Amino acid sequence: MTKSGKRYEAAFKTFDRSKLHQPVEALELVKSMAGSKFDETVELNMRLGLDVRKAEQQVRGTVSLPKGTGKKMRVAVFAQADKAKEATDAGADIVGDADLAEKIEKGFTDFDVAIATPDMMPVVGKLGRILGPRGLMPNPKTGTVTTDVARTVSEFKAGKIEYKTDRQANVHTVIGKASFSVEDLAANYLTVVDEIMRAKPSASKGKYLRSLAVSSTMGPGVRIDPNAVKEVKPVSAA
């Protein structure tokens, strides 16, 4: 067993895996079990009661984390002329048009989010087989196909993230780093939960929020009681 594997097994023994925890308690456990030399990412996984085979029951969008992600987001922008300059001035890491598309076709995907102006979509659309599986394809539903390039770049740089249901109706998102305070993690956690609850499709039947858990990059998942999902004190009251 590897050193990381031993750490993982040891972490499992420190708490009851079957227990449903209060949100703050779960976040405290995740922080306590993040023992890697690097700053582990803290993630939230939500299982939703949706039939994602039906388009009207798919959930997708963006949400801005009030405390940021703790990660420097690399933003790529497909734009030309004035819009390309706007992207650069706003802090985009990679800006281009057909040249950027050619670079991606050759294997370049060293960025976390891709933004495109509408006029660039005929070029970007040809990259679907590369960007789609990586969750990097610009999409109007997530605001990544836009004419307001500067604002969109700034928002993603500041902590805006994308979310969507996978084939098992899970939504998996980042909510910060293990170095964050419990209060900051809780603020991001609540923001994501509120957004996912707001995005509940009208076609959804039965129990919407089936289960949820938080974990760090190298740690085990800690389950949260769905009935207490929002029982977190506001950060201002902490």
- pLDDT for res 135: 87
CATH 3.30.190.20 boundaries in the chain? 16-69+161-237
Parts of the chain with a pLDDT under 50: 1-3, 235-238
Which structure tokens are listed for 37? 């030399």
pLDDT at residue 11, as a whole number: 56
Distance CA 71, CA 27 (A): 19
d(CA 151, CA 162): 16
**165 is written with which tokens?**
């249901």
26-47 b/e (C-beta count within 10 Å ≥ 16 → b) = bbbbbbebbeeeebbbbbbbbb
Start-end ranges of CATH 3.40.50.790 in the chain?
Answer: 75-157
Cα–Cα distance measured from residue 21 to residue 225, given in angstroms and rounded to the nearest whole number: 6
Q: Are 114 and 137 in contact (CB under 8 A)?
A: yes
**What is the model's pLDDT at position 236?**
44
**C-beta neighbour count of 23 within 10 angstroms:** 25
Report the 10 Å Cβ neighbour count for 56: 10
Which CATH fold topology does 75-157 show? Rossmann fold (3.40.50)
Spatial distance between the Cα atoms of 146 and 165, rounded to a whole number of angstroms = 22
Burial per residue of 121-135, b for 16 or more beta-carbon CB atoms within 10 angstroms, e otherwise: eebbeebeebbeeee
Q: Does domain 16-69+161-237 have CATH number 3.30.190.20?
A: yes
Q: Which CA distances in Å does 12 have to 178, 180, 181? A: 17, 22, 22
Q: Which helix (H) or strand (E) holds 148?
A: none
Residue 231, helix vs strand vs coil: coil
pLDDT at 230: 85
Neighbours of 157 (CB within 10 A): 18
End-to-end CA distance of the chain: 40
